[in-house]
Amino acid sequence: MAAQTKWQSFEEFLVNQPIQVDYFYLIIALLIAALLSFILGKLYVKYGTSISNRRKFSSNFVLVTTTTTLIIMIVKSSLALSLGLVGALSIVRFRAAIKEPEELAFLFLTISIGLGLGAGQLLTTIIAFFIISLLICGRHFYYKKEENQNLYLTVSGKNIKLKDIVDALNKHCSSVHLKRFDQLEEGLEASFLVDFDSFQKLEKTKRELNSLSKEVNITYLDKSGLD
C-alpha cells in the first residue's frame, strides 16, 4: 500500500510539475544562438574542406541551433518533459545524408551551441565558440601551407573500376588524394584532390579516363573556387 501511494505521488509530481521558463533569457538565448550559428555557417563556407555544397548545408545551422536551444530550455525545467524527450527520440529517426566527417563535426558543433545556451551556460558557450572558431581558421591556414593540390577531380560512370581510375591518375598527376568514393546502383563516383605539372598532363589524363568507359563523366573544379 505504501509503495502504491509513493508511485501515485510520483505520477502526480510528473503531471503537476510546473514548467518555469525565463522568457527574457529565452529571447536572448535564441538571438545569440542565431548569431553564433550564422557566423559558424560563414566559417564553414569559407574554411571548410567538404566537396559537397557547403553553402546549402550551412543554411541549416541557424534552424538546428535555435531549435536545440528551445528544446533544452523547455525540457530542463520539467522532469516529465525530459523523459518524454527520451521517448520521442527513440521513435524519431534522423536520416540526414551525412557523407563526410567534417559535415558531422560542424553539425555536432551547432547542436553543442544550442545545448549550452539552452542549459543557461551563456558565457561558457560564447567563449568556447570563439576558441573553436580560432581553431577552425588556424586549421585552414595550417593545411593550406601543406597542400599543393590545385584541382578537385570527380569521375563517375558505369563499367569502371576505382583501381583503373587511380592507376590512370598516378601516371600523370604529381599527387593524388582520394577524398570521397560512392558506390551507386548506376555505377560509381569518386572525388580526388590532384595536382598537374602541366596542361598537357591534364589532357593526357582526360583521354585515358575517357578510354576506360564510354559512359564516364569527368568534372574538374579549381580548388580556390570553393573557398
Q: What is the DSSP string of 125-171?
A: HHHHHHHHHHHHHHHHHHHHHH----EEEEEEESS--HHHHHHHHHH
pTM (two decimals): 0.58
Q: Which helix (H) or strand (E) holds 122?
A: helix 122-146
Listing DSSP states for 183-201 in one string gives EETTEEEEEEEEE-SSHHH
Tell me the mean pLDDT in the region 89-108. Answer: 67
Which among 97, 101, 109 has a CA at the least distance from the CA of 50? 101
Average pLDDT in the chain: 77
Q: What are the contacts of 39-43 at 24+ separation with CB within 8 A?
A: 39/133, 40/106, 40/109, 40/110, 40/113, 40/129, 40/133, 43/133, 43/136, 43/137
d(CA 5, CA 2): 5
- Give, in degrees to the nearest 5, the angle at Cα 41 between 36 and 43: 95
Query: Which grid coordinates belong to 43?
Result: 566559417
Q: Does position 131 have pLDDT exceeding 50, yes or no?
A: yes
Q: Does position 219 have pLDDT exceeding 90, yes or no?
A: no
Q: What residue ranges of the chain are covered by domains with CATH 3.30.70.2690?
A: 151-226
pLDDT score recorded for residue 99: 61
Query: Which grid coordinates belong to 31?
Result: 538571438
Instruction: Convert the pLDDT of each residue in 148-158 to its tens digit.
Output: 446 778 888 88
Tell me the mean pLDDT in the region 46-52. Answer: 74
Any idea which of 20-29, 66-75, 214-223 has the lowest mean pLDDT? 214-223
Query: In the block, which residue shows the cell 501511494?
Result: 5
Question: Mean pLDDT highest for which of 38-42, 51-55, 214-218?
Answer: 38-42
Rounded percentage of the chain residues whose pLDDT exceeds 90: 17
pLDDT score recorded for residue 91: 45
Q: Does position 215 have pLDDT exceeding 70, yes or no?
A: yes
Coil, helix or strand at residue 119 = coil
Local confidence band at 203 (pLDDT 50, 70, 90 cut-offs):
confident
Q: Does position 187 have pLDDT exceeding 60, yes or no?
A: yes
Query: In the block, which residue shows the cell 534552424?
Result: 63
pLDDT score recorded for residue 209: 84
pLDDT score recorded for residue 158: 81
Coil, helix or strand at residue 109 = helix
Residue 39, CA distances (Å) to 17, 144, 145 in order: 37, 21, 24
The torsion angles phi and psi of 186, rounded to 5 degrees, stand at -90, 10
Q: Does position 78 have pLDDT exceeding 80, yes or no?
A: no
More confident call, 223 vs 168: 168
Q: Does position 82 have pLDDT exceeding 60, yes or no?
A: no
Which among 208, 219, 160, 165 has a CA at the least distance from the CA of 186? 160
Q: Is the dihedral of CA 106, 183, 156, 145 positive or negative?
A: positive
Quickly name the fold that domain 151-226 has.
Alpha-Beta Plaits (3.30.70)
Q: Does position 79 have pLDDT exceeding 70, yes or no?
A: no
pLDDT score recorded for residue 30: 93
